[in-house]
Amino acid sequence: MQPVFIMRRSKTLFVGALMLLTSFSLSAQKKFRPSLNLSGADQETWNFGVLFGNYPNSTADFLENYTVRFSLERTLIPRFDLRLEPGVILEKQNLEVSFEPYTELQLPVLFKYSANRVENINPFIIAGYQMGYRMQTESTTLAHYIETGLGFDFYLKKSKAGLHLRVQHDISGLQEKSSSLFIGVSVETRDGWKLYRQ
C-alpha cells in the first residue's frame, strides 16, 4: 500500500507543479504581450491620410522624383477597401539629362485587400487604375497607368503607418520604360476623425 500511496502522491505533486508552471507561463504571456493599438478600427467605414514617396522614371535617378498623395479609403466589405489617392509628382531638374522636368497630377482609383491582422501589423495588396495629367512648359498630356503593389500597415497608438512597395505600369506609352517602382510611407487615421477627439 505504501508504494501506491507514494506513487499517487507523486502524480498529484506533478500535476500541481504542471498547473502552477502553466499558470505562470500564461500570466507572463499576458504581461509581455504587446498591447493591441486601435482596437476595432478596421470596422470604421471611412479613413483618411497622406502618403509620401519617390516616383522614378527612365530619365531620373532613384530619388529624383517625389510624390505626395492624399488618401480617402472606403470600406466595401470586411478587409476589402476602395481607395482614392489624388496627388502630385514633382520632378527635380537633372542637369545630366536633356529632359524637360514636369509636374503630374494623379488620380489613382485602387482596391486594397488586407490580410488578417496579427497584433499591430497587417499585410495588404493593392491594385487599380491611375489617370495622370502631365504638365510641361508647352504641353499637357493625359497619361494612363495600372498600379499594383503590396505593403504593411502598422497600428500605432493614435494613427496607422503604412509601408508601400508599388509598381506603376505605363499603358499610354509616355515613358521609355513601361514600369517604374514606387516606395512610399503613409500616415492615416484608422478610426475616422473620432480618433483625435479622444
Number of domains in the chain: 2
Predicted confidence (pLDDT) at residue 3 exceeds the cutoff of 90: no
Do 104 and 166 share a domain, yes or no? yes
Contact 108, 133 (CB under 8 A): no
Domain residue limits at 160? 41-197
Contact 91, 101 (CB under 8 A): yes
Do 99 and 176 share a domain, yes or no? yes
Measured over the CA atoms of residue 47, residue 153, residue 50 and residue 137, the dihedral's sign is: negative
Give the model confidence (pLDDT) of 73-124 as tens digits: 999 999 999 999 999 987 765 545 445 667 889 999 999 999 988 889 999 9
Do 85 and 150 share a domain, yes or no? yes
Please tell me the least confidently modeled range out of 53-62, 136-145, 148-157: 53-62
Query: If DSSP codes are grouped into helix, strand and coil, which group holds residue 39?
Result: coil
What's the Cα-to-Cα distance from 99 to each of 31, 53, 120, 132, 144, rounded to whole Å?
59, 22, 44, 19, 20
Give the model confidence (pLDDT) of 29-64 as tens digits: 455 456 888 877 777 888 889 999 887 654 555 456
CA 25 to chain CA centroid, Å, is: 34
Do 28 and 45 share a domain, yes or no? no
pLDDT band at residue 4 under the 50/70/90 scheme? very low
What mean pLDDT do residues 131-158 have?
A: 89
Do 81 and 134 share a domain, yes or no? yes
Q: Which of 73, 46, 37, 70 is nearest to 198 (CA)?
A: 37
Do 114 and 73 share a domain, yes or no? yes
Do 183 and 166 share a domain, yes or no? yes
Do 23 and 52 share a domain, yes or no? no
Predicted confidence (pLDDT) at residue 136 exceeds the cutoff of 90: no
How confident is the model at residue 58, as a pLDDT? Answer: 46
How confident is the model at residue 81, as a pLDDT? Answer: 95
Do 57 and 109 share a domain, yes or no? yes
In the numeric block, the cell 500597415 is attached to: 153
Do 60 and 130 share a domain, yes or no? yes
Do 9 and 100 share a domain, yes or no? no
Do 95 and 140 share a domain, yes or no? yes
How confident is the model at residue 57, as a pLDDT? Answer: 58
